[in-house]
A and B are shown apart, each in its own frame.
Chain A
């Protein structure tokens, strides 16, 4: 039924996925260098899970983004768009030459997602919207007999939006085994380190009836294995709690963690790029 490639049927080449993630991080530096800013920290933090999704786990086709039975990735934190643009560019949806337009007037690569950009499933950015829409997509796919799956990224700070819990309740009520929540726990929010403590995160999702795992979100092998485990046949939605490091892949950016919005001085870009190139892929 699915006219989209089933990449996940192949066994994962972990090293290849690490190289993809590293390329994506390089794309993000190219993007952020233009405006001199961007959500680089968060983008780097979820680069590994996006690489695993787009280059291994998801059934999707960069040449047919609106394929009827595609797996969908919903980026609820629309301000992480830089990571999504990096993944889509790495997959060839956008030419690499377009990356420096990130955040520029009239660019397709906006600082927050808009669903008129190819490959974007939902307008994110007003937090607390993603999981509810992902549920609707998962129910819709199930109703029309599709085996497609919906992957919804959301963040630890976003769990403070009450609508997240409305959605968490509904997903388990409807037994959505085709829905996977990817909860990016990077420990930061706009006003600094977690303004409101959300721990224990995994216990909360478990209590809401989700099949829950907690992993190092910057360890490619753990990410790939956790995603594979969501195909277990359990009739419940899946939550993967990703412990990620803002700026992951570039040690000096990681050292600035607890910063929601990293500002980079013009003189620093070359050094950061050199640092990334010198770093072992995670």
Chain B
């Protein structure tokens, strides 16, 4: 029998791969912003240690509040602060923000277009703590809220760039938060812009449309497919709302088959939104959706859960290889 693997504790890095990493990129970016802009404040609901916001607390203790385990109140207080001119960045886990505080984000923030940034830790399947902690349907829920910007960054570079961009943007934002040692995948020279997709590879046999850390896997899959003589394009979509439907339609029109990839259930997330966007644009292509199944995921080791539930690089390679066989 194989040696058993164990779930790591909440604060530990659970998914370090071969790439260079940056430690707590969000915290670093927020400290940099806070030094320039006195209206930026930090809040958390007893998860400061696990959402990389403690560097901000240490740098600006007078502009930081820990409201305890109370996500509805976290969002409410952030809303009130925004009404007095502050720009709150509020951190908690994605599950608690999206499920527990949904009405507070919808009515308390989005309905009034308040300038609050919800920073959602443990996005998708990035913890082995089971369904209570895995925000596998959060971007779908948040994208249904009018006027809310929803972002799922790929790597450390984009996490920092997106943090800066949403601070400059006036309005409510829900952003998935990679925390801890976050890999560097993207070219920092390519700017992040809210609402803009980024073309990372232009192969035409298969086109990966991906968001969040799945873009890293799409790039790895494209490299593997290239070895097999299959050319794969990669369109990275860090902003799920507003969705860059033009870029998605243009990209899909040039590939034989589209494969969406997201760290989220395939229903209601990127895969669904891409399908809608392509129909709306009269671009009808075969479509494979890579993501999590419509079920709660159990406890376990993150890497093995990701592999078991279909979001490891292997699944993208298989989908890409199949795409060429079908066409």
Q: Name which residue of chain A comes closest to B45, CB basis.
A: A166
- Min CB distance B71 to A, Å, is 8
Q: B72 on the interface (CB 8 Å rule)? A: yes
Q: A43 on the interface (CB 8 Å rule)? A: no
- Min CB distance B148 to A, Å, is 15
Residues facing B in A160-202 (CB within 8 A) are 162-163, 166-167, 169-170, 173-174
Q: B59 on the interface (CB 8 Å rule)? A: no
Q: B103 on the interface (CB 8 Å rule)? A: yes
Is there contact, CB below 8 Å, between B70 and A140? no
Convert B190-228 into 0s and 1s, putting 1 for each residue whose CB lies closer than 8 angstroms to a CB of A: 000000000000000000000000000000000000000
- Min CB distance B171 to A, Å, is 15
Mark the stretch among B50-58, B76-84, B257-265, B295-303 that contacts chain A.
B76-84
Is there contact, CB below 8 Å, between A140 and B107? no
Convert B71-111 into 0s and 1s, putting 1 for each residue whose CB lies closer than 8 angstroms to a CB of A: 01101111111111110100000000000000110011001
Is there contact, CB below 8 Å, between B77 and A170? yes
Convert B271-313 into 0s and 1s, putting 1 for each residue whose CB lies closer than 8 angstroms to a CB of A: 0000000000000000000000000000000000000000000
Is there contact, CB below 8 Å, between B72 and A166? yes
Q: Name which residue of chain B comes closest to A125, CB basis.
A: B107
Known contacts being A123-B111, A136-B83, A169-B70, is A163 close to B65, with CB within 8 Å?
Answer: no
- Min CB distance A177 to B, Å, is 16
Convert B163-189 into 0s and 1s, putting 1 for each residue whose CB lies closer than 8 angstroms to a CB of A: 000000000000000000000000000
Convert A130-146 into 0s and 1s, putting 1 for each residue whose CB lies closer than 8 angstroms to a CB of B: 01111111111101101
Convert A112-142 into 0s and 1s, putting 1 for each residue whose CB lies closer than 8 angstroms to a CB of B: 0001000001110010110111111111110
Is there contact, CB below 8 Å, between A126 and B81? no
Known contacts being A169-B68, A174-B65, is A140 close to B80, with CB within 8 Å?
Answer: yes
Known contacts being A121-B83, A140-B83, A140-B84, is A133 close to B68, with CB within 8 Å?
Answer: no
Contact of A140 (CB < 8 Å), options: B68, B85, B104, B108? B85
CA distance A131 to B104 in the complex (A): 12
Is there contact, CB below 8 Å, between A166 and B70? yes
Is there contact, CB below 8 Å, between A132 and B104? yes
Is there contact, CB below 8 Å, between A135 and B76? yes
Is there contact, CB below 8 Å, between A138 and B80? yes
Give the chain B neighbours of A141 by CB distance below 8 A: 84
- Min CB distance B74 to A, Å, is 8
CA distance A134 to B76 in the complex (A): 8
Contact of A143 (CB < 8 Å), options: B86, B103, B107? B86
Is there contact, CB below 8 Å, between A131 and B83? no
CA distance A143 to B63 in the complex (A): 8
Q: Name which residue of chain B comes closest to A173, CB basis.
A: B68
Is there contact, CB below 8 Å, between B81 and A140? yes
Contact of A131 (CB < 8 Å), options: B76, B81, B84, B103? B76
Is there contact, CB below 8 Å, between B84 and A137? yes
Give the chain B neighbours of A169 by CB distance below 8 A: 68, 70
Give the chain B neighbours of A146 by CB distance below 8 A: 84
Known contacts being A139-B65, A169-B68, is A132 close to B107, with CB within 8 Å?
Answer: no
Is there contact, CB below 8 Å, between A136 and B78? yes
Give the chain B neighbours of A128 by CB distance below 8 A: 72
Q: Name which residue of chain B comes closest to A148, CB basis.
A: B84
Give the chain A neighbours of B7 by CB distance below 8 A: none
CA distance A163 to B108 in the complex (A): 12
- Min CB distance B108 to A, Å, is 5
Contact of A129 (CB < 8 Å), options: B65, B78, B85, B107? B107
Q: Name which residue of chain A comes closest to B116, CB basis.
A: A136
Is there contact, CB below 8 Å, between B76 and A133? yes
Contact of B84 (CB < 8 Å), options: A136, A166, A167, A170? A136
- Min CB distance A4 to B, Å, is 15
Is there contact, CB below 8 Å, between B83 and A133? yes
Give the chain B neighbours of A133 by CB distance below 8 A: 76-77, 79-80, 83, 108
Q: B112 on the interface (CB 8 Å rule)? A: yes
Is there contact, CB below 8 Å, between B81 and A132? no
Is there contact, CB below 8 Å, between A137 and B104? no
Is there contact, CB below 8 Å, between A170 and B70? yes
- Min CB distance A30 to B, Å, is 29
Give the chain B neighbours of A129 by CB distance below 8 A: 76, 103-104, 107-108
Query: Can you report 27 residue pairs joining A to B where beta carbons are below 8 Å apart?
Result: A122-B83, A123-B108, A123-B112, A126-B103, A129-B103, A129-B108, A132-B72, A132-B73, A132-B108, A133-B77, A133-B83, A133-B108, A134-B80, A135-B76, A136-B80, A137-B80, A139-B65, A140-B81, A143-B41, A163-B72, A163-B76, A163-B104, A166-B67, A166-B68, A167-B76, A170-B67, A174-B65
Residues of A in contact with B (beta carbons under 8 Å apart): 115, 121-123, 126, 128-129, 131-141, 143-144, 146, 162-163, 166-167, 169-170, 173-174
Residues of B in contact with A (beta carbons under 8 Å apart): 41, 62-63, 65, 67-68, 70, 72-73, 75-86, 88, 103-104, 107-108, 111-112
9 pairs of A and B residues whose beta carbons are closest in the complex: A136-B80, A132-B76, A140-B84, A166-B70, A166-B73, A163-B72, A136-B77, A133-B80, A137-B80
